[in-house]
Amino acid sequence: MIENNDKPIVNKVAASTVLVTLDLEDFLIKIPRVPFDIKAFLYKDYVLKEQEFRESLRNVAWNEYQGKAVYIFCSSDAIVPFWAYLLIAAYLHPHTQYYCFGKESQLISKLITDSMHQSNPEQYRGKKVLIKGCSDNGISEYVYVEAARLLLPYVSSLMYGEACSNVPVVKSGKIS
């Protein structure tokens, strides 16, 4: 028989001051994310004509990308030469520091890892770190691997999941 002593149930693992829970989503730089589809600048959506392409890019209102994060892609199956991406980057560069080729999910990965690289992993030296498992933004495997790469030289233990049910990765400096 279980007696009720009117004491609240406390999750001692979650309340532990030794355990640091790291939510990678907290590293996501809060900035509007917008697409740049190259398809709109192609002849009949499939052919890049250099002169027309360059002229079209000159006429873009690039200042509309100010303070935004841009993911560059082509929604058609066109073969786009690499220099075209360089040219778009050159136009975007004065307006935003956050741009990349790929899907929005790749831009999210870039925003998170850029922020992680600006943080000081030394603050986790000797600590037990739990990397939170669930995310609303669909954090990629790349971000988790990068977090491990940055943290492993400093942490005493690295875990994944939630405080009440986690998967140990490294304990006391040894792979679990």
Query: Are 37 and 67 in the same domain?
Result: yes
Q: Whose CA is closest to 53, among 62, 64, 45, 61?
A: 45
Let me know if residue 171 belongs to a domain.
yes
pTM: 0.82
Average pLDDT over residues 151-157: 95
Query: Are 39 and 92 in the same domain?
Result: yes
Let me know if residue 4 belongs to a domain.
no
Does the pLDDT at position 14 exceed 60? no
Higher pLDDT, 143 or 10: 143
Domain final residue, candidates 82, 97, 112? 97
For residue 20, the Cα-to-chain-centroid distance in whole angstroms is 20
| CB atoms near residue 19 (< 10 Å) | 17
Higher pLDDT, 2 or 56: 56
Tokens for 125? Answer: 């030296």
Which run of H or of E encompasses 15?
helix 12-15
Domain of 73? 33-97
Let me know if residue 142 belongs to a domain.
yes
Let me know if residue 108 belongs to a domain.
no
pLDDT digit string, tens, across residues 131-145: 998 767 689 999 999
Confidence of residue 175 (pLDDT cuts 50, 70, 90): confident
What angle, rounded to 10 degrees, do the helices at 141-151 and 104-118 form? 10
> Average pLDDT over the chain, rounded to whole?
91
Let me know if residue 93 belongs to a domain.
yes
pLDDT digit string, tens, across residues 32-67: 999 999 999 999 999 999 999 999 999 999 999 999
Query: Are 128 and 90 in the same domain?
Result: no
Poorest-pLDDT segment among 73-77, 134-138, 164-168, 171-175? 134-138
Let me know if residue 106 belongs to a domain.
no
Average pLDDT over residues 2-23: 67
As a whole number of angstroms, the distance between CA 109 and CA 140 comes to 7
Query: Are 22 and 59 in the same domain?
Result: no
Query: Are 79 and 129 in the same domain?
Result: no
Domain final residue, candidates 79, 97, 115? 97
Confidence of residue 2 (pLDDT cuts 50, 70, 90): low
Amino acid at 119: S
Strand 128-132 versus strand 19-22 pairing type: parallel
As a whole number of angstroms, the distance between CA 67 and CA 44 comes to 31
As a whole number of angstroms, the distance between CA 85 and CA 80 comes to 8
As a whole number of angstroms, the distance between CA 129 and CA 169 comes to 10
Confidence of residue 124 (pLDDT cuts 50, 70, 90): very high
DSSP conformation class of 95: T
